[in-house]
Amino acid sequence: WADDAKTRSYFHAAEAGMPYVALLRFIEVLPDCAASESVRQALRRGLRHEIDITTQGENNPFGYPRQQVQIPGQPGRVQFFIPHDNESGYWWQGENARLASLACAALWATQQFADDAALCAELRVYAQAALDWIFGFNPFDACMMQGHGHHNPRYEAGYWNAPGGVCNGITSGLADEDDIDFKSPSETDPSQSWRWSEQWLPHGAWLFLALAQRPSGANTAFA
């Protein structure tokens, strides 16, 4: 939860994995602290929840990480993308940073739960699905990293995406949140086009951290 009253769940388009990373760092920095085991169990419960809401239910052929969305005054629900109606009043966009942050946390956590082979296998599958989505295994067959894969998105003329950078990504539908969108600038206007094709440093930073958690010598797929 994002508040003590439990009226707002913690969901974020860029930093969804940050709480787990914070717990992982706590355990690494203070392994002998009396709270370490409680922190470890909280980490396990949180990641277990992420896996369960993603794998339970239908209509998720890509294994896209779902999220629990609860906003004050509205019923809670499990959904793929952040709601358009949120506290910012305007900010919703592609969630490649969210995906990469969760992949980072899941892969990092396998070091803490190495004694639980089944959980580690689930964490790796969960992380790989998030990374695959970014690198092109998505409904738009588009690699989000400029200069790699194919169908790289282009931003507005004069604001070309930099090689190696990662764009915002796919969202729920602009007109229908039960739909899905990845609009090009030619399909919309500058007041909206940034939501999909504009690059943003947190996407690349989280992706870098996620890839850095992969085992040494790992190939392109997890076994």
Question: What are the per-10-residue average pLDDT scores of the chain (223 residues)?
Answer: 87 95 97 96 98 93 96 90 89 97 98 97 98 98 97 89 96 96 92 94 98 76 41
Q: Could you read off the pLDDT of 173-208 as tens digits, one per residue?
A: 999 999 999 999 999 988 999 999 999 999 999 999
Q: Where are the domains of the chain?
A: 18-212
What's the pLDDT at 223?
34
Tell me which residue of 165, 58, 145, 65 sits closest to 105, measured CA to CA.
65
Which residues, 6+ apart, have CB-to-CB distance to 77 below 8 Å?
68, 69, 70
pTM reported for the whole predicted model: 0.93
Cβ atoms of 146 and 167 closer than 8 Å: yes
What's the pLDDT at 5?
85
Cβ atoms of 103 and 123 closer than 8 Å: no
What's the pLDDT at 222?
41
- The residue ranges of DSSP E strands in the chain, in sequence order, are 67-69, 77-79, 171-172, 180-181
Domain boundaries 18-212, corresponding CATH code: 1.50.10.10
Q: Could you read off the pLDDT of 66-94 as tens digits, one per residue?
A: 999 998 888 899 999 999 988 888 899 99
